[in-house]
Amino acid sequence: MITIPEGLTVRRPNAEDHARVLAVLDRWWGDFKGQAGSLERALLLPRLFFQHFTTTSYLAERPDGDLAAFLIGFFSQSDPNVAYIHFVGVEPAMHGRGVATALYRGFFDEARACGRRHVHCITSPGNTVSYAFHVRLGFQVLPGAVGAGNPPIQPDYDGPGLDRVVFTLDLAGP
């Protein structure tokens, strides 16, 4: 399904993986944004993603079965041209080895095969690694973003005080 480095195996997640993924979020995100960030992350990954979005999501495990990475994505119900990557994380010890790139490329291939033209996703302002990662993969910040800073943000995008950087990638591009 996906060619992934480091001898990892990739499969679809299921409901039994929900607790395992929640358990690593704070460590994998380096406690980004403290307690508020912890709550926000947990609420971004309710169980339903491990029940109803499994066929467009991935979970990578090490040979010993430990969790190495996950990608939660889906194909838009509303726009048949769009696929959406909701949440992705890689075990910190495996950062910088192409694991997330492999999961994204696998998702891109499946999205393309299902007739999707664009991939959308968002990240939090201040998550500079996530920003660099998405730009490196060819994502562009959605036109209309405001703010003179780098990265440009969309204020209150996800609700009051919940600013976001909004990305889009054209799967037909280079």
Size of the site for ligand COA (CB under 6 A): 20
Torsion, Cα of 135, 69, 45, 82 (10° steps): 40
Contact mark string toward ligand COA, 12..31, x via CB under 6 A: ----------------xx--
Q: Which stretch binds ligand COA (CB under 6 A): 7-15, 91-99, 105-113, 143-151?
A: 91-99
DSSP SS3 for 19: helix
Long-range contacts of 137-145 (CB under 8 A, 24+ apart): 137/101, 137/104, 137/169, 138/169, 138/173, 138/174, 139/167, 139/168, 139/169, 140/167, 140/168, 140/169, 141/165, 141/166, 141/167, 142/166, 142/167, 142/168
Compute the distance between CA of residue 38 and CA of residue 15 in angstroms, rounded to an integer.
21
Of the two residues 75 and 89, which places its CB atom closer to ligand COA in the complex?
89
Applying CB under 6 A, among 13, 37, 73, 89 the residue interacting with ligand COA is 89
Selected binder of ligand COA within 54, 56, 57, 127 (CB under 6 A): 127
Residue 127, Cα to own-chain centre: how many angstroms?
13
Q: Which is nearer to ligand COA, 29 or 75 (CB)?
A: 29
What tokens does 33 get? Answer: 């944004």
> Shortest distance, CB of residue 88 to ligand COA, whole angstroms?
5
Q: Does 74 bind ligand COA (CB under 6 A)?
A: no
Q: Is 100 in the site for ligand COA (CB under 6 A)?
A: yes
Residue 80 or 83: the one with the smaller Cβ distance to ligand COA is 83
Identity of the residue, 123 or 154, whose beta carbon is nearer to ligand COA in the bound complex: 123
Q: Which listed residue (123, 141, 151, 169) binds ligand COA by CB under 6 A? A: 123
* Beta-sheet pairing, 140-141 with 165-170: antiparallel
Contact residues for ligand COA, defined by CB under 6 A: 28-29, 87-90, 95-101, 123, 127, 129-130, 132-133, 136
